[in-house]
Amino acid sequence: MGTTCGSCHVGGSLVEKGLDGLRHSQRPVPNPTTGPFNPYSNYVLEQYVPATGAADFEVATAAWSYPATMGGEAVIAPAGWGPGSQMMMPNVREADCFMCHLEGYNNIVNSAATQMGYFNAAPSMGAGLMNMFTQAYMPGTFTLGGTIPGFEAFGNIATLSGAVIANLKAEPPTANCMQCHLPNNMANFTEMFTTFLSAAPMQYNADSSQQPNGSAINGMAMPGYDLNSAFVAPNAKSPSIVLNFMTMGWEDTDGNDQSGPFGIFPMALDADWGMFDNEGNPNMAVAGGDKDGESGPLFYAGRMPEAGLPMGDQNALKKATIPFPKADWFKRGDLWGDKKLEVHLNLGCGGCHYNTNSTNPDLNQCDPGRGKTRMGGVESGQVAIDTHNTVKRCQDCHITGTNVEGIAIGNFSAPNPTAAHRAKGLLANVTKALRTTDGTNEVEFDGNHLDVIDCTVCHIYKPTMSVRSLDSTSGNRYPAMIGYDQSKGMMGMFTDPMTSDNMSDAQAIGAVTYNMGNQGFNKDLGGFTSIELMIAMTRLGVADFSSKIMVDPTWGPRLAGMMASYFPTLFDGDGMATYDENEMAAAMGLIGKMAANFPGMADGATDGDAARAMLKAEMKQWTPIYGWYDNHPKIVNGQPNPEWRRNLIPINFIVAQMWDDANGDFDANGDQAELNANWMAADPDHPGENFIKWDPWIARDMKAKWNFAGGPLATIPIGFGSDPAYDSVYAPDGQSFSGDFQFVGVYGGNVMLTTPEEIDAFKTHAGADWVDTQLVFFGGNPFQVTHNVVATETYVLGNDCADCHAPGKGFFSGGYDMTGSGVPATAEYDYDDSGFTFGMDLANPMTTTNMMQRPVVDFEVMAFKDDLRTGSEALRKSDGKLIDVHFDSCLEADKSTPIACEDGAAVYRLTHDLGRDQFMYPELDSSALATKIALLEDVDAMKAQAGLVDDGDGGFNAIVPVAAITGVTGATFDEDTTFGLNGAQLSHTFKHYTATIGAELTLNATDEGAGYSYYWQTSDVSYGNFGKDDYRTTSTQVEGASATYTFNKLGTFTVTLTAVSPDGTRVRSYAKVTVVNPASTIVITPADLTAFSSRSVTLTFNTSAFAGDADQLVIYWGDGKKDTVAIDGTDDITDVAHDYMLFAGFDNDEDGTYSYNLSVYAWDSATNAKVDMKATATVEITLP
């Protein structure tokens, strides 16, 4: 696993740790569970009997894994991996700093070195510090200094040269990220190596003389290859290539440049060529090429007839590895390199994945930000770190300017799409969404489209090739793909495999004639061939009955004559005065299909231009399937996350094709996981059962059951056993098909088991232990699609309701291909059966075509009912639980009559497309599902249900709500009052209420019923940017047509009512509330205090109505004097006398009348606090 899985996956996983989490290097030897072997020091040597391919495994010492010692003593280091913290050499591919930070790093070279067991040298080779061919360090990349005292055994200190250091970048270059994750294109075989692959192909040869560049550790080396030979005529040879030691460049024997992948490899290189000959001199011999035409591009050791064995050297063929593509193309069909396919191209990977300002403690300086993905990450239970939700999300840059934690980020001045979304009705509250209010619950509410769909659902556009299923039934993994030009067969994976732009007209036409002739397109159509017709249709286009080809003087009559044989009533000479309606419909259908495939070329285009276009391939758009997933964590910064939703995301499945032993009493792979309680969990939906039900056969055991051969891109399984009925899918010539199987894979020609007879025969061949083994198609890898966001001018959903909410749009209903595509492998094949000739007879059946000359078609798998199982992981919207959704049905013995699988008459099981509706709503039965989808795909019915009015342009008119404040219960309505604004230059009239501080008020609005929402805001607190969302979860906001609120401040405040209609339209209205203190309970007599004629007055204070804890009455007479009188809160206080001071300042008018402001408080002396509001009065004394 370290050398094979590690060719793509850095780090350890199960290679470094067992299921118990303990590092293999820390296990003692001997070990009770492993006997005398240690999983770090030993491994199972995968080897096979060369003649038969039977298993010949043994436990061997791992030459690449060894502990660090010095002077015979263990070298101890903090957190060392070995016993007692001893330093250990890695037994995995490590993620060294150069891999990300060194501009020009070569991941393919590192991958090759890893597969050769050179774990310690792989970083240097990938970085260009070490020559891959000579394994010597490159001059000028470093200088040597002294040694470290005590560590002299480790050699001298190496210092990198300035040239290398100059290429070290603080922020990893996008090109470095792409080496593992993303290709930018795959035009031809050269680009397959330079831009498409993440893991290099490798061969095995025990004879080191046959591969001087091979590994001394495990005999692995890159296979020989020739990137020219596939495009050379079968009776010719590809160019011979040599290394010019004067220029250190690759060239053919005519002196033409033959530089190939990365500029360091040639276009062809034999595995037995070394840079130096046996005497150590520069090797002037041919390095590669001189191969038969239509062979290659890869030439693995052990192929027949070179191996001298009837079936080739099965040991070499089975130990070889296949070239494997980059991770995010493989998982999601991502391409990065064309601005038309990614609007964020100029930002590079760092635009979203770096500088995210996350405070996640698990995100260290070497980790790029990571999304909240449906699939992806470290193995469950292996690593406790979690760096999800640390990438910049769409809304972070385009709306909030903050990350998921609310911390500001650089957003590249991204445009805010809110206005555009609102204009399209996407912010209308017309659907049911989920949010959380306490961080644990899930509450349904009336939400808008953005509450239930991820941004990528509408903006992802995928005219790209992608993996749909992965055939792992032979011990290797062979992808079955979608999204490419299947009409061109295997070559449809390459956009320009023959570099056709360099061809002359004659060369291009000759190449098309040869290629299509091999496919049977040499059919005589009456004075012209089907190849000539295809060239003409490509050049002129077939838009309709009046298109250029129809009026062309040559091709118009030819095409009309040909179509007359299909549609006689349309071409009977009466100008279609009478015709058969069915014929007309069929003719229009044919023209429509042809128009989509033959748009025509610009005026002046030649047949050569058309031929060059035909030699190229365009990728085909595929639509993800949409499923539910939580968009964010429910808790952020310790608080409930108001942005949490469960919404739809776009998904690409990689469906695993695998063998699974269904006998619970038998352990097929020996891991004992089925019996390990630590790795099993009770299934709450199925009492008494457990989640772990998988017992897949181990890879090397599966390889031992198959016959392998060398294919054009990989070593491949071609059949099994020695029975001529199933021993090989290929005829003895190794090119044409035997007719014993139905399909082979496009990624190299591996045989695929697709019929009951094939599957049953293989199980019988595999042995009695396989009797309960099932072929499983399991969609357990629902990878969230996030890249290839394009400009809205190119593609977007949501311009019209019918973009999604209409039958046939592939959103709510329709099929999602779960098996991918394959090459028909029948002995005879008629290209017309592929469907790519639109029902016309344009090709002759062919028996000599090889897999590269046939189209690729969609396939399904049929098996005996108990030999096949399917499943896919869907999430329920309601609670987020996983549901297993099947994509198969059962048939009776005639293989065509549908029947319930539970019926005893069911004999066969057949895969089919996964229903998009079933995946989106897995909890619904068939009747409820049909009802729901019928509504979702009926725009008029949905609008009527939501009360929306059609605007005549695919959308709907805005529903304007009423925002009417009808009253404030608990407050006194004064009158409509005009309040001045901005220095009274502006004014507005509001309803005005007076309320007592601390009193609970009820805010009332006109309630228009279901679908309408009402939100209240008060200006006594700071509430921020109210209006950004339709709801709030903070204490400053109350909701509902009737809502309670309490003012705890004195003053005049604004009450804002926002009414929101079902379509999201908002209207606001306002009121003013003046908050005052309550009236005092202290009564002063006499009631008239303005009739005194003497400075001596006597007042009575009644406190019987007061219910507080006051024990004093504090009287401020208004002339600067104060009295404190004891009270008990029940009796009147009488005869409290006071002599007023008659200062002139109290006689403002100098008319002999003195005025004083009397204030009285009830006071609690124990707490020294006022208990009741003060009573006030004006005392006037008029002297005679």
pLDDT at 1130: 63
Residue type, 136: A
d(CA 823, CA 744) in angstroms, rounded, equals 5
pLDDT at 381: 39
pLDDT at 955 over 70: no
Partnered with residue 823 across adjacent β-strands are 744
Name the pLDDT band for 581 (thresholds 50, 70, 90): confident
d(CA 430, CA 1064) in angstroms, rounded, equals 8
Instruction: Check: CB of residue 1068 under 8 Å from CB of residue 1041.
Output: no
d(CA 940, CA 255) in angstroms, rounded, equals 71
> Interhelix angle for 926-936 vs 939-946, to 10°?
90
843 contact partners, CB below 8 Å, separation of at least 6: 519, 520, 521, 523, 530, 830, 831, 832, 837
d(CA 22, CA 44) in angstroms, rounded, equals 19
Name the pLDDT band for 503 (thresholds 50, 70, 90): very high
pLDDT at 836: 93
Q: Tell me what the mean pLDDT of segment 378-400 comes to.
A: 76
> Interhelix angle for 530-540 vs 505-518, to 10°?
130
d(CA 886, CA 909) in angstroms, rounded, equals 11
Name the pLDDT band for 377 (thresholds 50, 70, 90): very low
Q: What is the DSSP string of 340-353?
A: GG-TTGGGTTHHHH
The H or E element containing residue 512 is: helix 505-518
d(CA 467, CA 325) in angstroms, rounded, equals 10
- Residue reference for tokens 């190849």: 531
For residue 132, give the DSSP letter: T
Residue 289, classed as helix, strand or coil, is coil
Name the pLDDT band for 596 (thresholds 50, 70, 90): confident
Instruction: Check: CB of residue 638 under 8 Å from CB of residue 453.
Output: no
d(CA 219, CA 115) in angstroms, rounded, equals 10
Beta strands in 413-522 (DSSP E): 431-435, 443-447, 466-471, 478-482
Percent of the chain with pLDDT over 90: 49
pLDDT at 1126: 87
Higher-pLDDT residue of 1180, 77: 1180
d(CA 644, CA 441) in angstroms, rounded, equals 11
Q: Tell me what the mean pLDDT of segment 696-707 comes to.
A: 94
Q: Which domains does the chain have, with CATH numbers?
A: 355-416 (no CATH), 498-615 (no CATH), 650-838+847-923 (no CATH), 965-1076 (2.60.40.10), 1083-1182 (2.60.40.10)
Q: Tell me what the mean pLDDT of segment 326-355 comes to.
A: 92
pLDDT at 1031 over 50: no
d(CA 128, CA 168) in angstroms, rounded, equals 13
Going by C-alpha positions, the residue among 815, 816, 813 that lies closest to residue 937 is 813
Per-residue pLDDT tens for 782-840?
899 999 999 999 999 998 889 999 999 999 999 999 999 999 999 999 999 999 998 89
Q: Tell me what the mean pLDDT of segment 408-425 comes to.
A: 91
Name the pLDDT band for 869 (thresholds 50, 70, 90): very high
pLDDT at 895: 97
d(CA 329, CA 335) in angstroms, rounded, equals 7
Most confident option among 6-15, 162-171, 1028-1037: 162-171
Instruction: Check: CB of residue 409 under 8 Å from CB of residue 402.
Output: yes
pLDDT at 982: 46
Instruction: Check: CB of residue 924 under 8 Å from CB of residue 812.
Output: no
Instruction: Check: CB of residue 146 under 8 Å from CB of residue 251.
Output: no
d(CA 769, CA 1136) in angstroms, rounded, equals 111
How remote is the C-alpha of 199 from its chain's centroid? 22
d(CA 586, CA 221) in angstroms, rounded, equals 56
Q: Cα-flanking dihedrals φ and ψ of residue 261, to 5°?
A: -55, 135
d(CA 561, CA 547) in angstroms, rounded, equals 16
First to last CA, the chain: 116
- Residue reference for tokens 């039977």: 54
Name the pLDDT band for 1033 (thresholds 50, 70, 90): very low
> Interhelix angle for 530-540 vs 555-564, to 10°?
120
pLDDT averaged over every residue in the chain? 86
The two structure tokens encoding residue 379: 């193995």
d(CA 452, CA 645) in angstroms, rounded, equals 7
Partnered with residue 824 across adjacent β-strands are 743
Instruction: Check: CB of residue 469 under 8 Å from CB of residue 818.
Output: yes
pLDDT at 954 over 80: no
Percent of the chain with pLDDT over 70: 91
Residue type, 740: D
Q: What is the pTM of this model?
A: 0.83
784 contact partners, CB below 8 Å, separation of at least 6: 332, 371, 373, 374, 375, 376, 629, 649, 650, 651
d(CA 488, CA 1084) in angstroms, rounded, equals 104
The H or E element containing residue 585 is: helix 581-597
The two structure tokens encoding residue 83: 């016993």
Higher-pLDDT residue of 889, 1165: 889
Question: Among 205-214, 230-239, 252-261, 318-327, which stretch is predicted with the lowest mean pLDDT?
Answer: 205-214
d(CA 818, CA 981) in angstroms, rounded, equals 65
pLDDT at 987: 55
d(CA 1117, CA 469) in angstroms, rounded, equals 94
Residue 504 neighbours by CB distance under 10 Å = 10
Residue 622 neighbours by CB distance under 10 Å = 20
Instruction: Check: CB of residue 89 under 8 Å from CB of residue 64.
Output: yes
For residue 848, give the DSSP letter: S
